[in-house]
Each structure stands twice: as structure tokens, then as C-alpha cells.
């Protein structure tokens, strides 16, 4: 089997079971599976849900899945690119998949952009990406991806998967993470994401230096925490820093 489209098939049953358990915890009437391949995970999901929407780009694999699962009325196959399909049409649902690693980030982004109808995603990803998704401040993996993800979700490590769990084995270690959507996502989350991206623009620079050009220098200089680098600041501290900067800026312009 060619390694195109990130095709590394999971063969370790214990891992497949644990992914399906993590995705279908509690009552999960509907599941979306990204990249079902030859249906290794699909089988475990079908025994835990009432309706499964599986999205597969590879035509040969899609035809195989169609033959294999056609008789199961819970199974719905969608041929196409997950990045071109509107996932919101199947909410409420849990989302899962042994992801094609070449498009992990845009898939995570699409999940984050959905709403509370999609309370969790359980993804098998490259271990390095899992580390970045769940990193805390001060850790070398902590960066904009961690902040953006953790603004929307709690991130849990479910398990680590060695290359030998796949056929063919990938060159990297893998891990399963569960993203559980927060119920208290701030209303202005889009502007916080933009603020965070500015703070992390140059990792080695202080927040103060990264934000010059966006705020009055006197305002930034008045806040001691702006003297830290973004990688040292927690998600909550970033939210508070933006609120302070915007608050002072607004009060200042009102006073002028
Ligand atoms: N779930 C299977 C398993 O664990 O054995 C296969 C996982 S394999 C890592 C990734 C799967 O995603 C492949 O079946 C591949 O064809 C499919 N895929 C790759 N790019 C895709 C895309 N843009 N949209 C949907 N599926 C895609």
C-alpha cells in the first residue's frame, strides 16, 4: 500500500478499542470519522453509536468500505476531502479519526471552529503535535497552537502509540488526544486568538516587543507582565492581559 495521503493503518486492537471508548464515552448517538481507511476503527465505533458518518478521500478505500459496511444502516460513507466538507451538517456528534498527519492542523482548526454541538474530538496524531496541543507555559512545546486549542478545549492524553502499532509503520511516534470543548469559551475568543498570535509572533521576543505597533508604547510599558515572553504566560493570563490593554486603551482614548 503506498504511503500517500498519510496512509498508516492502525493494527493494534487494544488501541483501536481505547480510541473508540474515548470518542463514544457516555451516550454518543452520532460520530464522524475522518479517514476510515479500511475500517479498522470504524468497526469499533459502529458497535458504540447509532449513526456513523465516515469521510474518506481515497477512492479505492471508499469503494472497499462501501462493500464492507453497505449492509449496516448505521454506516454513512462520504467520499471526499474532509477539509472541503461541511462537518456542521452532522451535529450534534463526536469527531474521531486516525488522522492523515499532513493535514492535522487544519483538521484541528475545523473542529475548534464548530460549536457546542461537537463536544469532543478524539484524534490520533503525531506525538510531537499531541505534546504541543496540551503543553503548559514554561514547557518547550508551549506555543500558539497550545493557546489556540486550550482557549476552546481541555486537552487530555489518552495513550501513546509506537510505530509498531501501524502498518506500514510511520517514522514518528504517535499519540491519541481527546479535546473536550469548554462550556465557558469567552465571547470575544476570536479577538483573543488574534491577540495571542501577535504575542507569539516572535517566540524569543517579549510580549511587549511583539505588541509594539498594536498598542501605545506607554500603555504596554505600564504592564510588568508584558515584559515576559508569551511562552511563559498562561492562557488565562493572556486573556487578562488583553483585557487590561484594551481597557486602558479605551479609557485613555475616552479621556483624550
Ligand atoms: N482509520 C484508518 C486506520 O486507522 O487504519 C486509516 C488511517 S490513515 C492514517 C488516514 C486515512 O485518511 C487514510 O485512509 C487516507 O486515505 C485518509 N485521508 C487522507 N487525506 C484525507 C482527506 N483530505 N480527507 C479524508 N480522508 C483523507
CATH of the domain at 236: 1.10.8
- Nearest-angstrom CA–CA distance, 10 and 206: 42
| C-alpha of residue 82 to centroid of ligand 1, in Å | 9
**For 72-109, what is each residue's pLDDT tens digit?**
999 999 999 999 999 999 999 999 999 999 999 999 99
Answer yes or no: do 135 and 193 share one domain: no
In short, whether 33's Cβ falls inside 6 Å of ligand 1 is no
Domain count, the chain: 2
Answer yes or no: do 92 and 167 share one domain: yes
Q: What are phi and psi of 3, to 5 degrees?
A: -90, 25
pLDDT at 5: 85
SS3 255: helix
Q: Which of 160, 181, 202 is the last residue of a domain?
A: 181
Residue of 1, 2, 4, 5 best suited for mutating to test ligand 1, as the one with most atoms within 8 Å of CB: 5
Answer yes or no: do 200 and 177 share one domain: no
| C-alpha of residue 90 to centroid of ligand 1, in Å | 19
Mean pLDDT across 115-125: 97
CA max distance for the chain: 71
**Cα pseudo-dihedral 191, 193, 195, 201, rounded to 10:** -150
Q: What is the DSSP string of 192-205?
A: HHHHHHHHTSSTTS
- Nearest-angstrom CA–CA distance, 69 and 111: 26
pLDDT at 2: 41
In short, whether 55's Cβ falls inside 6 Å of ligand 1 is yes
Band of pLDDT at residue 4, cut at 50, 70 and 90: confident
CATH of the domain at 91: 3.40.50.150
pTM beyond 0.85: the answer is: yes
Which residues span the domain enclosing 224? 189-255
Amino acid at each position: 500500500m503506498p504511503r500517500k495521503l498519510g496512509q498508516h493503518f492502525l493494527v493494534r486492537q487494544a488501541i483501536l478499542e481505547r480510541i473508540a471508548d474515548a470518542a463514544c464515552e457516555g451516550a454518543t448517538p452520532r460520530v464522524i470519522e475522518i479517514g476510515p481507511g479500511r475500517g479498522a476503527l470504524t468497526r469499533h465505533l459502529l458497535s458504540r453509536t447509532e449513526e456513523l458518518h465516515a469521510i474518506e478521500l481515497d477512492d479505492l478505500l471508499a469503494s472497499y468500505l462501501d462493500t464492507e459496511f453497505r449492509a449496516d444502516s448505521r454506516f454513512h460513507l462520504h467520499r471526499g476531502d474532509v477539509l472541503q466538507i461541511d462537518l456542521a451538517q452532522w451535529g450534534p456528534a463526536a469527531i474521531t479519526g486516525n488522522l492523515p498527519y499532513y493535514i492535522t492542523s487544519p483538521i484541528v482548526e475545523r473542529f475548534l471552529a464548530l460549536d457546542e454541538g461537537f463536544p469532543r474530538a478524539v484524534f490520533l496524531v503525531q506525538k510531537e503535535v499531541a505534546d504541543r496541543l496540551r503543553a503548559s507555559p514554561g514547557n518547550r512545546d508551549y506555543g500558539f497552537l497550545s493557546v489556540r486549542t486550550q482557549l476552546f478545549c481541555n486537552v487530555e492524553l489518552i495513550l501513546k502509540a509506537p510505530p509498531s502499532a501501524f502498518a506500514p509503520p510511520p517514522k514518528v511516534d504517535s499519540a491519541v488526544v481527546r479535546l473536550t470543548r469548554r462550556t465557558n469559551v469567552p465571547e470575544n475568543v476570536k479577538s483573543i486568538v488574534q491577540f495571542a498570535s501577535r504575542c507569539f509572533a516572535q517566540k524569543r521576543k517579549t510580549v511587549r516587543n511583539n505588541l509594539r505597533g498594536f498598542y501605545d508604547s506607554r500603555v504596554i510599558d505600564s504592564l510588568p507582565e508584558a515584559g515576559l515572553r508569551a511562552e511563559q504566560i498562561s492562557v488565562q493570563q493572556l486573556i487578562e492581559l488583553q483585557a487590561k490593554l484594551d481597557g486602558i486603551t479605551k479609557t485613555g482614548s475616552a479621556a483624550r
